């Protein structure tokens, strides 16, 4: 781990033209580091990427990824971010979370390499989620929360029968439960 410039990257696509990226790695301390990347995309302009990573005694660890572009093609400021982390809380609880945000529905389609959409490779939705866990000797309490941001156009929403005039989108209900550990039968 040493602060300094990383290997530059050059890409080309028929949609955006030539792209040049110059990453810089900063080893700030034992507990956190950062990669800052300045990109020039021929058809879109300058794009900044930031990835901040931290870990502290395995009780607090996480990553923040942030992307910003003043897009020449759409004439808009576009941004996205992903915050992931795990935290040990009082009374033996553990919180794992993954929060995803984008400024517009087209962002994750235009910049798939930013990994903002998580597991949805087709770019139809972004899911933010949190999992609260409390382990016991032979069981585990859990609570799972999710927010799904549907990134489909109005024509697709209408064809599915959703009335999106009020901005409401179908969501998953929170899941709360108790998992029991398997008990071995005596031989």
Distance CA 85, CA 115 (A): 16
User: Cβ(79)–Cβ(73) under 8 Å?
Assistant: no
Q: What is the pLDDT of residue 118?
A: 66
State pTM to two decimals: 0.80
**Pairing mode of beta strands 45-56, 60-71:** antiparallel
* Ranges of the chain with pLDDT below 70: 118-124, 151-168, 183, 185, 187
pLDDT of residue 157: 47
Q: What pLDDT, on the 0 to 100 scale, is given for residue 144? A: 96
Give me the pLDDT at residue 110, please.
84
Q: How far is 87 from 63, CA to CA, in rounded Å?
A: 12
Neighbour count for residue 117 (Cβ, 10 Å): 24
């Amino acid at each position: 781990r040493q602060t300094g410039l990383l290997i530059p990257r050059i890409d080309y696509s028929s949609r955006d033209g030539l792209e040049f990226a110059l990453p810089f790695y900063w080893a700030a301390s034992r507990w956190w580091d950062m990669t800052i990347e300045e990109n020039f995309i021929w058809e879109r302009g300058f794009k900044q990427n930031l990835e901040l990573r931290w870990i502290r005694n395995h009780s607090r660890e996480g990553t923040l990824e942030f992307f910003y572009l003043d897009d020449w093609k759409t004439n808009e400021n576009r941004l996205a971010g992903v915050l992931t982390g795990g935290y040990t809380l009082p009374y033996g609880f553990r919180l794992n979370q993954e929060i995803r945000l984008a400024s517009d529905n087209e962002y994750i389609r235009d910049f798939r390499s930013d990994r903002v959409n998580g597991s949805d490779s087709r770019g139809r939705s972004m899911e933010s989620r949190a999992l609260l866990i409390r382990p016991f000797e032979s069981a585990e309490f859990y609570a799972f929360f999710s927010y799904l941001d549907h990134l489909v156009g109005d024509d697709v929403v209408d064809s599915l029968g959703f009335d999106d005039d009020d901005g409401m989108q179908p969501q998953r209900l929170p899941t709360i439960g108790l998992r029991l550990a398997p008990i071995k039968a005596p031989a």
